[in-house]
């Protein structure tokens, strides 16, 4: 992507972004793929995910995930076992320590909000599990019960966010690492938990002891593309910097990262499945469906150490 437009914009207008550099993308031959936007996401049709995928079909799906950062499927009918089997194609399941698991399947984390609840899970911009020593590769979120309207999920592309920065800032960030933590979100002293009705849906504060240091710029192993790897949910500071010193640069990066051009807002329907690459996206669950129940099943898959 060109670095010609590097400002966040003035108060009223933003400079247009160049199209992302798609490189030498091979066509997809085993399913139909339609872009969700020029910059992030793709809708895949013509695949029944309840059936075992051939190696060739899985490889194309995995490539689509790497190239588009989040992929969406409609009209899938998945039992929990089929959801688990699909997730295992992407890698070993990274059992979430904090979300209440499904009663029968500990591999499945419940993303649940009842009609009487106020707080939702994932209601701030974040990257799942970035506090793990080895951050998760992907999450597979499947809709089980939805409000009649609302409860969308918004994704932003961390590769596009990185590519739109100036070469000077890219160089600076390339030399930095950042500290990520689960403590302030899921730990015993978490204000977010204490001041909300998430108790019972978010568990095990005593397990929120992770602090991990990761490069601020992640290079994707499949595409070689670089992505910005800091997020407002779990990043605490730059490694070797204080929180106060880090706050200004992180605030700039977060504001930049949230540009609407980098985003796609996904509207769930019964049978929808979203799979996102955790290393190259952020997401946020929109909490606009007061008085309605929403239940999705999430499985997160392990990745490899970031480089």
Query: CB under 6 A: which stretch of 28-36, 39-47, 79-87, 120-128 binds ligand SIN?
Result: 120-128
| Residue closest to ligand SIN, measured at CB | 122
To the query of whether residue 128 is one of the catalytic residues in this protein, the response is: yes
Closer residue to ligand SIN, CB minimum distance, 172 or 292: 292
Residue 140 CA to residue 272 CA, distance in Å, equals 11
Of these residues, 279, 283, 294, 297, which one is catalytic?
A: 283
Interaction residues for ligand SIN, span 279-298 (CB under 6 A): 283, 285, 296, 298
Give the residue with the Cβ less far from ligand SIN, 235 or 246.
Answer: 235
CA distance 119 to 113: 8
Considering the candidates 102, 128, 132, 277, report the single residue annotated as catalytic: 128
Q: Which is nearer to ligand SIN, 153 or 246 (CB)?
A: 153
Residue 154 CB, nearest approach to ligand SIN (Å): 9
Q: In sequence order, what DSSP letters do the residues of 37-75 get, joined into one string?
A: SSSS-EEEES--TTSPPPHHHHHHHHHHHHHHSEEEE-S
Positions 152 through 211 that interact with ligand SIN (CB under 6 A): 153
To the query of whether residue 48 is one of the catalytic residues in this protein, the response is no
Whether the CB-CB separation of 167 and 301 falls below 8 Å is answered with no
Q: Does 107 bind ligand SIN (CB under 6 A)?
A: no
Q: Minimum distance from CB of 139 to ligand SIN (Å)?
A: 6
Instruction: In angstroms, give the least distance from the CB of 233 to ligand SIN.
Output: 9
Distance from C-alpha of 75 to C-alpha of 69, rounded to nearest angstrom: 21
The CB density around residue 148, as the number of other CB atoms within 10 Å, is: 7
Tokens for 44, please give them.
Answer: 């895949």
Return the HEC string of 150-171.
CCCEEEEEHHHHHHCCCHHHHH
Tell me which H or E stretch contains 245: helix 243-257
CA distance 45 to 74: 7
Minimum gap (Å) between residue 9 Cβ and ligand SIN: 27
Only one of the segments 33-41, 121-129, 169-177, 185-193 lies at the binding site for ligand SIN (rule: CB under 6 A); that segment is 121-129
In 3D, which of 268, 269, 272, 266 has the Cα closest to residue 78?
272
Parallel, antiparallel or unpaired: strands 153-157 and 281-285: antiparallel
- The single residue of 112, 117, 126, 256 carrying the catalytic annotation is 126
Secondary structure class of 185 (helix, strand, coil): helix
Please identify, using beta-carbon distances, which residue of 112 and 226 lies nearer to ligand SIN: 112
Smallest separation (angstroms) from ligand SIN to the CB of 120: 7
The minimum distance between CB 190 and ligand SIN, in angstroms, equals 16
Applying CB under 6 A, among 60, 110, 128, 132 the residue interacting with ligand SIN is 128
Report the distance separating Cα 23 and Cα 223, nearest Å: 9
Q: Which residues bind ligand SIN (CB under 6 A)?
A: 111, 121-122, 128, 139, 141, 153, 283, 285, 296, 298
> Active-site residues: which are they?
126, 128, 283, 298
């Amino acid at each position: 992507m060109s670095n010609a437009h590097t400002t966040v914009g003035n108060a009223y207008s933003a400079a247009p972004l160049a199209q992302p550099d798609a490189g030498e993308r091979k066509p997809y031959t085993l399913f139909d793929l339609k872009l969700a936007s020029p910059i992030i996401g793709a809708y895949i049709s013509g695949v029944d995910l309840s059936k075992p995928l051939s190696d060739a079909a899985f490889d194309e799906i995995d490539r689509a995930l790497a190239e588009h950062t989040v992929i969406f499927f409609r009209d899938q009918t998945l039992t929990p076992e089929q959801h688990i089997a699909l997730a295992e194609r992407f890698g070993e399941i990274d059992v979430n320590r904090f979300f209440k698991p499904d009663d029968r399947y500990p591999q499945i984390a419940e993303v649940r909000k009842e009609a009487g609840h106020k707080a939702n899970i994932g209601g701030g911009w974040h990257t799942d599990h970035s506090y793990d020593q080895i951050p998760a590769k992907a999450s597979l979120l499947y809709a089980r019960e939805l409000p009649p309207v609302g409860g969308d999920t918004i994704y932003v592309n961390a590769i596009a966010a990185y590519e739109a920065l100036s070469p000077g800032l890219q160089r600076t960030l390339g030399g930095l690492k950042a500290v990520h933590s689960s403590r302030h979100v899921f730990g015993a002293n978490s204000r977010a938990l204490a001041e909300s009705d998430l108790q019972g849906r978010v568990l095990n504060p005593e397990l929120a002891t992770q602090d991990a240091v990761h490069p601020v710029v992640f290079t994707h192993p499949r595409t070689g593309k670089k992505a910005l790897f800091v997020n407002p949910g779990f990043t605490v500071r730059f490694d070797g910097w204080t929180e106060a010193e880090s706050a200004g640069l992180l605030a700039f990066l977060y504001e930049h990262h949230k540009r609407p051009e980098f985003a796609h807002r996904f509207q769930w329907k019964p049978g929808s499945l979203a799979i996102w690459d955790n290393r190259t996206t952020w997401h946020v669950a929109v909490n606009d469906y007061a008085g309605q129940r929403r239940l999705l099943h999430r499985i997160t898959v392990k990745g490899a150490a970031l480089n």
